[in-house]
Amino acid sequence: MNASDRGLPLAGTKILAFTQLGAGPYAMTLLGDLGAEIVKVEDPATGGDEARNVPPFAEAGDSLYFQALNRNARSLTLNLRIPQGRALLHRLAAHFDAVYANPRGDLPAKLGLDYASLKSANPRIVCCTLTGYGRDGPRHAEPAYDYLLQSMAGFMGLTGAPDTPPTKSGISIVDFSGGTMSALGLVIGLLRARDSGVGGDVDVSLLDTAISMLNYLASWNLTRGTEPRRLADSAHPSLVPSQIFATADGYIVVMCMKEKFWQRLAELIDLGQLIDDPRFTTIAARLDNRDTLIPILKERFLTGDTAHWIARLRGQVPAAAVSSIAEALRDEQVLHRNMVIEYEHERFGRIRQVGSPLKLDGFQPVYGPASRLGADTADILRDLLDLEDEEIGELRQLGAV
């Protein structure tokens, strides 16, 4: 059953995706889950996306890493370094709504993946690029990766304990955020093309995305010159208590983002006498007296285990246990929201992954494996371009596909 049969919201939207590794494939997964037809284009001369060989659990040009980021994608091999490959790109562009790519910023124009190169083949086509630094500027031609952008955008300087080296996030937060932003940009471009009949370029960068996420911290710095500092226990810079606390058997995060939560917390952990203490009666007072209040709370949380405190605070004060990945994936709310899904794969058997975070009334996302390298090339060329097997064979001999 294909996407259109299931009434998925992006059914009928065709995207030619020149993606690799994490950020771009994540964007395409978000759209593919919603019914977009993703044709992943890979270079036949290089063995395709490097993600196919990322360990662990990699074999025969496929990996669980690759499957996690490319589900539902069909695979077309195409070599843009030779004229025959470029010619095929132009012929294919006439049959797609969008071309999406996540190369270096200097490559879209060189490879002919921008609107200026493809508008003659399809004036309605939307050309969306996700690059490290954007398609212009002094660093546009430089390679960029999530780790580098976490460092450059100031994320690592904000993360970790005060007496430890700067720390990166445990997940590829810039890649995934950039992927999400580019998916949004692509959909906006498609809406514009639908209304106007004219496509265009969408230029999204990982650096721009990361800088935008500094948000209120950036405003404090730009407007008042404040340089945020790392605090012990991953504490919030303004709100007290909002941080990690050790329990008798683990850790818990408590966030008193409103005055009422502080008052409830004090009562529920049997420290009600602190509510009327003038040192702690307001957000500003607790911030000024952080060094007095936090040791009192730390001592109290050590008297019970994590389950005890979660049972007391749940639904009354924003609180959560610090979970392992396995624990997070077993959470009752996660399972209720269908955030753990599975499908069958010819090599890995039953693959279990996280599901789509987007819930739209009246439909269920579609989940399936990513194709083997080039598995769909011949079918796509036959179906869209009416090529005969002999011509496809000649293109293979030339190295175009």
CA distance 241 to 198: 52
Which amino acid, one-letter code, is at 207? L
Q: Is 19 left (phi over 0), alpha (psi -120 to 50) or beta?
A: beta
H/E/C letters for each residue in 99-142?
EEECCCCCHHHHHCCCHHHHCCCCCCCEEEEEECCCCCCCCCCC
Q: What are the b/e assignments for 122-151, b being 16+ CB within 10 Å?
A: bebbbbbbbbbbbbeeeebeeebebebbbe
Catalytic residue among 62, 175, 201, 203: 175
Return phi, psi of residue 63, to 5°.
-155, 160
User: Is the CB of residue 6 less than 8 Å from the CB of residue 35?
Assistant: yes
CA distance 60 to 314: 47
CA distance 210 to 224: 21
Return phi, psi of residue 138, to 5°.
-65, -20
In which residue are the tokens 């996302």 written? 365
User: Is the CB of residue 76 less than 8 Å from the CB of residue 48?
Assistant: no
Q: Catalytic residue at 175?
A: yes
In which residue are the tokens 């008042």 written? 224
Return phi, psi of residue 279, to 5°.
-75, -15
How many other CB atoms are there within 10 angstroms of residue 83's CB atom?
10
Which residues carry out catalysis? 175
